[in-house]
Amino acid sequence: MREQATDLEILQRLTRPAGRDVVDVGCGGGDLVRALTALGARVSGIEVSEGQLARARANDDGSGARYLIGSGQALPLDDASADVVVFMRTLHHVPVGEMDRALAEARRVLRAGGVVHVAEPLTEGEWFELTRMVEDELEVRGEAQAAIGRALRAGLGRADTVEYEVAIEVAGVEGCRSRMVSVDPTRAGVFDAQRAPIEAAFERLGQPGPRPGTRVFGQPMRAQLLRAE
């Protein structure tokens, strides 16, 4: 049986980020950047455009984190400049043909003894059943796992693997839409076209959340720690 944990708990356990230079590849709204900064890490959040970074910058409270435009397959960082590179639910969003390159880039920016933390959602669970109604990521998630399996080619050896389950809490169907669309704005049209069956699945899956109007969905995860060889 998988343990119940948060992504941050597992990341902290495996990488010990306090006092280290950490790169969050595909930082989105910056939640993880701010959490890691609060733990004492020096964090760089990477996103593909200024527009994608706008929310992270707006939500930042002067933490000292920096935000850079780049991609997993072309990190805007010097060689040997980081201790930890994090792909938190983001490797499967890298184009399939570039996933190996993204891991090679992570290895390039690592210092000796550095690690890459790759946490990927598995193709099962309540949240997966809900999200696949908008975009079925079965193939790309499988490709991400295959790329991790080839990581030795990039000079990264497997150091640890942890499977766990996170609880995803959303505020109603609109909260569900907001979370899915924030990952990829092109999903908005698909979600709206599928709203009726999504609303039915939303009520059928998951459990009532701790706050009024929220619902909680389980999502199994696999975190893999890769160490610079």
Instruction: Encode pLDDT of 36-68 as tens digits.
Output: 999 999 999 999 999 889 989 999 988 889 999
Assigned token pair, 77: 């960082």
Domain that holds residue 121: 3-228
Angle at 35 between CA 24 and CA 147, to 5 degrees: 30
Residue type, 87: F
CA-to-CA separations, 187 to 28, 62, 132, 177, 195, in angstroms, rounded: 16, 31, 11, 9, 12
Instruction: Encode pLDDT of 73-122 as tens digits.
Output: 999 999 999 999 999 999 999 999 999 999 999 999 999 999 999 999 99
CATH number of 66's domain: 3.40.50.150
Instruction: Encode pLDDT of 131-168 as tens digits.
Output: 999 999 999 999 999 999 999 999 999 999 999 999 99
d(CA 70, CA 50): 10
DSSP H or E segment with residue 217: strand 214-228
Q: What is the mean pLDDT of residues 163-177?
A: 97
Instruction: Identify the band that residue 1 occupies on the pLDDT scale cut at 50, 70 and 90.
Output: confident
> How much is the pLDDT for 41?
98
State pTM to two decimals: 0.94
> How much is the pLDDT for 183?
83
Instruction: Identify the band that residue 182 occupies on the pLDDT scale cut at 50, 70 and 90.
Output: confident
> How much is the pLDDT for 61?
82
Radius of gyration of the chain (CA): 17
Q: What is the mean pLDDT of residues 6-35?
A: 97
Query: Any idea what DSSP says for residue 132?
Result: T
The dihedral formed by the CA atoms of 138, 180, 3 and 88, expressed in degrees to the nearest 10? 80
Give me the number of domains the chain comprises.
1
Backbone angles phi, psi at 196, to 5 degrees: -60, -55
